[in-house]
Structure 1
């Protein structure tokens, strides 16, 4: 079986660190700060940062969007990276399943952040496939990330399962027609996921 894992909010507890980085970067570059901005960011978690910024500032030029994204990454790497933790039971889960299954990471994050996180928690060895923002034209909720994982693993859709924390993870899996498990531990989408998906509290409850 191919097990496709999301990164932020699923195998790592990074939601609040990303939110803080976005809010502070936007305030520094544009001077703007509001509950509406914060809520929009939270509601779009799981979608790439460049898409979030374009949604918040649809009429802005590319330079402003680039400046915000650069500042987001600067705050994230310089100040918030050390605050990110590995989700409960993830390492035990990876150790249990990696010998008999293919494990892939499919994330809207950029490759630098993804590889940094895998190295930080010493879990690189478990992942045979890594697909990040740079590898796709169409990010979540489009299923392109999942399609690329399945293609690289050379398995059928029926032999794949996607595990994530956001409604966009669910929508990508649903549109492709593969199994999905929602992890609620750090999710900003608990109520939505509980209505539409099979969910667990953390990785200790996933039996594969």
Structure 2
């Protein structure tokens, strides 16, 4: 059976409200002004940006930042959360023919909580977050770990994501990928716009 890996935030689910609110909550607690919603969403996925430096002014995320983020996010991550239109039907259609997994730079505890809240968690054989690897995307470790776990060759897998971090991780692992444009980024090229196009790309790859 072939395997499909989905990024979560911005690909399967619109979690922009809790994400923006949490980052601004941490910033306010650290004495920074809040940032515009669009700036946060564009920057969080940009592989050229050091997120800790950009959002909080430190080279790496500190324990204080992580604690502030996780406590607020845990309490608020289900607020305003929704599946993108057409995703439920897509994964339901795919589930009989493919092994479905999630590769997310979110914490796997939050990922499972959010996907279960939206009643789609059961579709995914594996949900892997940044806390399950040493190097999150754009490093290929997460992709390779999922391939190894399911004993699938990279040629029999595909990764769907809304960020260049997703595409870079897939490419480094030798996995085909699809960039979608309904998420947090606004891509000017090489991205598809609709669920129908995504379904076509999946079946082109595996038929």
TM-score range, shorter chain: 0.7 to 0.9
Once superposed, what is the RMSD of the aligned Cα atoms? 2.5
Aligned to 1:115: 112
Aligned to 2:196: 204
Displacement after TM superposition at 1:142 (Å): 0.2
CA 1:88–1:36: 2 relative to 1, 3 Å: closer
| Alignment equivalent of 1:86, drawn from 69, 83, 86 | 83
Q: Distance in 2 between matches of 1:18 and 1:187?
A: 11
CA 1:189–1:140: 2 relative to 1, 3 Å: farther
Q: Distance in 2 between matches of 1:116 and 1:89?
A: 21
CA 1:102–1:80: 2 relative to 1, 3 Å: closer
Displacement after TM superposition at 1:153 (Å): 1.5
CA deviations on 1:20-77 (whole Å, 9 max, x unpaired) are 210221111x111265998467323377xxx7225543368x7xx2222222223323
Aligned to 1:103: 100
Q: Distance in 1 between matches of 2:164 and 2:98?
A: 25
Displacement after TM superposition at 1:202 (Å): 3.4
Q: Runs of 5+ in structure 2 lacking a partner?
A: none
Aligned to 1:32: 32
Q: Is the 8 A contact 1:46 1:140 kept in 2?
A: no
2:5 matched to 1:8? no
Q: Runs of 5+ in structure 1 lacking a partner?
A: none
Q: Is the 8 A contact 2:143 2:170 kept in 1?
A: yes
Whose helix proportion is higher, 1 or 2?
A: 1
Normalised TM-score (structure 2): 0.84
CA 1:7–1:33: 2 relative to 1, 3 Å: same
